[in-house]
Structure 1
Amino acid sequence: MGSRRDFLQKLSVSAVSLPLIYSPANLFAADSEPYDGPKLKVAIMGLGSYGTRVAKAMQSCKRATLVGLISGTPSKIEKWKTKYGIPEKNCYNYDNFDAIKDNPDIDAVYIITPNGLHKDQTLRVAKAGKHVICEKPMGINAKEGQEMVDACKAANVKLLIGYRMHFEPKTVAVIKMRKEGMFGTPKFFQGQSGFTIGDPTQWRLNKELSGGGAMMDIGIYSINGARYMLGEEPIWVTAQETKTDPQKFKEGIDETIQFQMGFPSGAVANCLSTYNMNNLDRFFMTGSKGYVEMQPSTGYGPIEGRTHEGPLTQPHVTHQTLQMDGMAALIFDGVQPIVPIDGEEGVKDMKIIDAIFLAAKTGNKIEL
């Protein structure tokens, strides 16, 4: 990665720059000036692999800080307490975390648990008067998602969804390019999202906990990506499911789904979601004046891509660091990312997933 000075020089001479939602100093937390304003005090609920990734990323945040832990595994809490300097009074289990209501040290809870637990945990956190950050998918269907939105509104707390890509520099740059007309009228999007899943006993392959298979876990990236790359909301979907291993991918757990979406302008999307193929992390969008290809498009490591004008050169910064600082800016200052991250955004994706499952089951074209 080049120096911050080199990057700023590139921005100054480029016809396309990152949005003015943040200045570069605010967007790229690792290179920013010291910050002495308020910090969002976050408790992480669910200390698994992704919770670990978020906690590590938050060590580089300037506007958000890890202050609390919620887990059903006492040994994890002990380990994390030591590693991150978390006081005992800010540690809870899944039975007693409603007591955060009386803990002024905690502003928000980041729910990073299996999908099937999100709704009830969100309702409890909201009732305790704390802001909710919920990992995607926000629930197991749109009905649950709307209940979460309604509960947080009633409690007057924010509900934010873990859309880290909405802060990722190359993704943000491409969205701005599209908004400024660099690609002309968007015509076609292709999204490929998938990997070969391992352990057949994991919660992602348990219908009650996951709500589905690959579509919930990885296909949602292509759904959300189609929406922000094309800049429209789909009006219909069609879908076809393929299952080669019914023992591993039991009823209600999709292995591979191909799906198509149509948009009001006439643009179309053709996407693949799978738990049975590797090397699938690619977005492609073409318009009347140009194209963009991103591969990898949503992975944790550096995103890579190019347009008809050349490579994307924005530097890589840990996605979750940018996400958490951006969420703090939203909660404290009302600063919005280029694509929303609120509960309503999450419900839009859930409605599309519901429709894809229905289309795959019935073979019908489903109007949205």
Structure 2
Amino acid sequence: MKTRRNFLQKASLSALALHLSPFTPISAMSKEFLNTQNDDTPLRVAIMGLGSYGTRVAKAMKDCKRAKLVGVISGTPSKIEAWQKEYNIPAKNCYNYENYHQIKDNPDIDAVYVITPNGLHKEHALGAAKAGKHVISEKPMATNAAEAKEMVDGCKAAGVKLLVGYRMHFEPKTQAVINMRKDGEFGKVLFFQGLSGFVIGDPSQWRLNYELSGGGAMMDIGIYSINGARYMIGEEPIWVTAQETKNNPDKFKEGVDETIQFQLGFPGGAVASCLSTYSMNNLDKFFLNGTKGFAEMQPSTGYGPIEGRTNKGPLTQPHVTHQTLQMDAMADIILDGKEPLVPVDGEEGLRDMVIIDAIYKAVKTGGKVSLI
């Protein structure tokens, strides 16, 4: 077993960290969302895990109005030093993986954003919670539903909030489609398609290490189609079927999925057909079809501007860096108790983990797995 520091140093080598604004429709965003920005009370955040995605979040937070980066937790001293200079972080707010529990004595930090490998999320989230800090966990929130439930229960017991980094829940074009569906503009929803994938690189990275990732493409990119199916259809699935294809077993070891096709059934009669892969590019597409209309988004979850159209025309909502919107919105949730359009709490993350567990079970059994 390698050291945790080595695990986290490998995490920083991965340039692939695809992960899911305001709480209201885009038409109402300026009034309600900007009102919250007038509050001078910031959410003071320490980022745990200074790899590629942690860096992306930190840069996005420079433009936040309500959330502020004030601390770091890392096993690499050189990274801590660089971040101190880049983000003006005082030495008293810098910790490593051995002493971060001392954060409980630091009143200048309100929340810890856990952006370490999946297999360390539970340990790090519960450590932060026991220190009395609110927790934001990057997704997937854990490696399985049992771990996710432990995180939910542990944060409740500690009296702190647990949120999950579902950035797409705050993205304006995504919110516009959700609101159209809620308003009945698509009629009865019948079908959803989610295509999530890319060709992954470095075979030695932590995302291809089962102990750290808990799986493969499904954990990293397939979760977007799972979560997207739920918020686009607006229901919770009641069954799942799945099939796995593995063409490169040398790269994708036991337990690390390369490609999985999966299907979800919903109580209203809608079905979802989705693909999760680490072996194909040009896959970032959502399609929703109903009796009165449709929505198509491509790219649907990437970092750059989301593009899409519905039967009524193109989606024209403005692009704002997703992580900037996410962190300001999460500040509103933690500090003011605001309710987002789509939940981002631990229970939301737990639901995705239950579905992922069922997908892996369906792959092994070849049968339909009930979710009720």
- TM-score if structure 1 supplies the norm length? 0.93
User: Which segments of 5 or more consecutive residues in structure 2 lack a partner in the other structure?
Assistant: 1-21
* Aligned counterpart in structure 1 of residue 109 of structure 2, from 106, 119, 122: 106
- Report the counterpart of residue 277 of structure 1 in structure 2: 280
* Aligned counterpart in structure 1 of residue 299 of structure 2, from 292, 296, 301: 296
**1:19 and 2:29 matched:** no
Q: CA–CA distance in 1 between the matches of 2:37 and 2:245?
A: 52
Per-residue CA deviations over 1:59-79 (Å, capped at 9, x if unaligned) read 000000000000000000000
Aligned residues: 350
- Report the counterpart of residue 261 of structure 2 in structure 1: 258
1:233 and 1:337, CA in 2 relative to 1: closer, same or farther beyond 3 A? same
Q: CA–CA distance in 1 between the matches of 2:228 and 2:235?
A: 11
Per-residue CA deviations over 1:278-328 (Å, capped at 9, x if unaligned) read 000000000010000000000000000000010000000000000000000
- Report the counterpart of residue 72 of structure 1 in structure 2: 75
- Report the counterpart of residue 150 of structure 2 in structure 1: 147
Deviation, 1:19, is: 2.6
Per-residue CA deviations over 1:85-139 (Å, capped at 9, x if unaligned) read 0000000000000000000010000000000000011111000000000000000
Deviation, 1:25, is: 2.9
1:247 and 1:173, CA in 2 relative to 1: closer, same or farther beyond 3 A? same
Deviation, 1:333, is: 1.2
- Report the counterpart of residue 331 of structure 2 in structure 1: 328
The one-letter code sitting in structure 1 at the alignment partner of 2:364 is K
Deviation, 1:37, is: 1.8
Q: Would the aligned equivalents of 1:281 and 1:298 in 2 still touch at CA under 8 Å?
A: yes
Q: CA–CA distance in 1 between the matches of 2:38 and 2:285?
A: 36
- Report the counterpart of residue 308 of structure 1 in structure 2: 311
Q: Would the aligned equivalents of 1:141 and 1:354 in 2 still touch at CA under 8 Å?
A: yes
* Aligned counterpart in structure 2 of residue 61 of structure 1, from 60, 64, 68: 64
3-state SS, counterpart of residue 201 of structure 2: coil
1:60 and 1:242, CA in 2 relative to 1: closer, same or farther beyond 3 A? same
Deviation, 1:26, is: 6.4
Q: CA–CA distance in 1 between the matches of 2:325 and 2:100?
A: 27
* Aligned counterpart in structure 1 of residue 97 of structure 2, from 94, 104, 127: 94
Deviation, 1:23, is: 4.5
1:161-200 matches, within 5 Å, as 161-200=164-203
3-state SS, counterpart of residue 105 of structure 1: coil
Q: Would the aligned equivalents of 1:21 and 1:336 in 2 still touch at CA under 8 Å?
A: no
Deviation, 1:24, is: 2.4
The one-letter code sitting in structure 2 at the alignment partner of 1:76 is K
Q: CA–CA distance in 1 between the matches of 2:167 and 2:91?
A: 30
The one-letter code sitting in structure 2 at the alignment partner of 1:174 is V
3-state SS, counterpart of residue 157 of structure 1: coil
Structure 1 residue ranges (4+ consecutive) displaced by more than 6 angstroms after TM superposition = 26-29
3-state SS, counterpart of residue 269 of structure 1: strand
* Aligned counterpart in structure 1 of residue 86 of structure 2, from 76, 83, 102: 83
Deviation, 1:362, is: 1.0
Moved more, 201-210 or 328-337: 328-337
1:141 and 1:112, CA in 2 relative to 1: closer, same or farther beyond 3 A? same
User: Which segments of 5 or more consecutive residues in structure 1 lack a partner in the other structure?
Assistant: 1-16
3-state SS, counterpart of residue 163 of structure 2: strand
Q: Would the aligned equivalents of 1:27 and 1:322 in 2 still touch at CA under 8 Å?
A: no
- Report the counterpart of residue 5 of structure 1 in structure 2: none
1:212 and 1:27, CA in 2 relative to 1: closer, same or farther beyond 3 A? farther
Q: Would the aligned equivalents of 2:119 and 2:214 in 1 still touch at CA under 8 Å?
A: yes
- Report the counterpart of residue 7 of structure 1 in structure 2: none
Q: Would the aligned equivalents of 2:23 and 2:341 in 1 still touch at CA under 8 Å?
A: no
Q: Would the aligned equivalents of 2:25 and 2:179 in 1 still touch at CA under 8 Å?
A: no
Deviation, 1:207, is: 0.1
Moved more, 154-163 or 18-27: 18-27
- Report the counterpart of residue 13 of structure 2 in structure 1: none
Deviation, 1:36, is: 4.6
Q: CA–CA distance in 1 between the matches of 2:346 and 2:27?
A: 22
The one-letter code sitting in structure 1 at the alignment partner of 2:118 is N
- Report the counterpart of residue 10 of structure 1 in structure 2: none
1:26 and 1:83, CA in 2 relative to 1: closer, same or farther beyond 3 A? farther
